[in-house]
Amino acid sequence: MRLFESKKEGTILIIGCGRLGNSLACAMSSKEWDVTVIDLDETALKRLPSSYSGSVLLGDGTDSDILEFAGIRKADALVAATDDDATNIMIAQIAGCHYPVKNILAYINDISKAISCSEMNITVLCPAALSVCEAQRVLLRDKEVKAL
């Protein structure tokens, strides 16, 4: 290990500090990632536990000035985890088109929007689709299950 090498595994921006954003921020910071959470709601940011070792930023994750201030040009990953599918898609598109972020993930609730996003090369996390796949796996007793 070099003398001045960072101990951090990577840098991640998480837009949205609801249940998913909060839990992911805590999990990634505990794995030695440099985490910044951005949210419009100060109350949501205050719900992060004292064990969270990352940064918080009050602001709009669709605003390129906010993303720049948060360090998007050096980010290894970005997760758009607001409670609005359209906002998450927009954030993923902004990050993918204008910044050198390697891994971009959008949290999408609507299965039809998730399918459209996959056609736009946006990696999605769709709870409904994941639940359907898991239910099929259980019901079909581990036979081959095709993702949506």
Identify whether 146 is part of a domain.
Answer: no
Task: Kindly write down the DSSP assignment for every residue of 9-78, as one continuous string.
Answer: S-EEEEE--SHHHHHHHHHHHHTT-EEEEEES-HHHHHTS-TT--SEEEES-TT-HHHHHHHTGGG-SEE
Identify whether 2 is part of a domain.
Answer: no
What's the pLDDT score for residue 5? 47
What's the pLDDT score for residue 143? 61
More reliable by pLDDT, 136 or 22: 22
Within the chain, how many helices (H) and strands (E) appear? Answer: 6, 6
**Considering the chain, what is the average pLDDT of its residues?**
88
Identify whether 33 is part of a domain.
Answer: yes
Identify whether 148 is part of a domain.
Answer: no
**What domain range includes position 76?**
11-139
Residue 7 has pLDDT above 60, yes or no: no
DSSP state of 102: S
Task: Note whether 123 and 104 are within 8 A (CB).
Answer: yes
Q: What is the count of structural domains for the chain? A: 1
- Residue-wise pLDDT for 37-60, tens only, equals 999 999 999 999 999 999 999 999
Q: Where residue 65 falls among pLDDT bands split at 50, 70, 90?
A: very high
Q: Where residue 134 falls among pLDDT bands split at 50, 70, 90?
A: confident
Q: List the structure tokens of 113.
A: 């929007």
Identify whether 26 is part of a domain.
Answer: yes
Q: Give the CATH number for residue 122.
A: 3.40.50.720
Identify whether 85 is part of a domain.
Answer: yes
Identify whether 92 is part of a domain.
Answer: yes
Angle at 115 between CA 130 and CA 90, to 5 degrees: 105
Task: Note whether 80 and 16 are within 8 A (CB).
Answer: yes
The pTM for the full model equals: 0.84
